[in-house]
Amino acid sequence: MRLIASATLLALAAMAAAPAGAQDVSAGERSWNKCRACHQIGEGAKNLVGPHLNGLFGRHTGEVEGYSYSTANKGANITWDEAVFAEYIRDPKAKIPGT
């Protein structure tokens, strides 16, 4: 159940950054499909091109064990929440220059 809640929150945050309505589940799925090429969530999630996204909200930038972050990402000192994520996903290089 916690996995479903995490995936739902991530999809809703992604939808907030996209022109889709909050109740448009298929738009959330399409948004997640863009992320899943580089990220995983859920039990057994691994780091890929990007770090796994389990426990994203409340975590600081550059903190997933075993993932090799850029210097900019490690030094960003950002704590992820829905608002910060929505801002980041709109323009990652503007939110964390050097990534």
**Which domains are present in the chain?**
2-95 (1.10.760.10)
Distance separating alpha carbons of residues 19 and 21, to the nearest angstrom:
7
Distance separating alpha carbons of residues 85 and 61, to the nearest angstrom:
11
Distance separating alpha carbons of residues 15 and 32, to the nearest angstrom:
9
Cβ atoms within 10 A of the Cβ of 30, count?
15
Beta bridge partners of 79: 60
Q: 5 falls in which pLDDT band (50, 70, 90)?
A: very low
Mean pLDDT computed over 20-27: 69
Mean pLDDT computed over 67-94: 95
The pLDDT assigned to 25 comes to 84
SS3 state of residue 63: coil
